[in-house]
Structure 1
Amino acid sequence: MRALVAAVIGLAAALALVLTISAIGAPPGETSPKPLLTTVPGPKN
């Protein structure tokens, strides 16, 4: 029973955190038009 109560409290805290962050909104700014490199560029032929 204690584990169930702890799980419910943890889930409620996580949900409250998500709702708080979404209520605040994204910070102002722009995204970069250049794509990010996900791998190391190899030698050019």
Structure 2
Amino acid sequence: MRALAAAAIGLAAALAIVLTMTAIGAPSGETSPKPLLTTVPKHP
């Protein structure tokens, strides 16, 4: 019975996290003006 209660609590916590993230919304999606480094610098 304890395992069932633990599973229910875990499921409720996961659902609460998902609903919270949905309520907050997605990030703005803006890109950085600085270019990303795509090559590894040479070793000295």
TM > 0.5? yes
TM-score, normalisation: structure 1: 0.63
- Work out the percentage of aligned pairs sharing the same amino acid: 81
Gaps of 5+ in 2: 32-44
CA distance in 2, matches of 1:7, 1:26: 28
Q: Which runs of 4+ in 1 moved over 2 A?
A: none
Report the aligned-residue RMSD. Answer: 1.3
Partner of 2:15: 15
C-alpha deviation, 1:30, in angstroms:
4.9
Equivalent residues, number: 31
**What TM-score comes out, normalization by structure 2 length?**
0.64
Where do 5+ consecutive residues of structure 1 fail to align?
Answer: 32-45
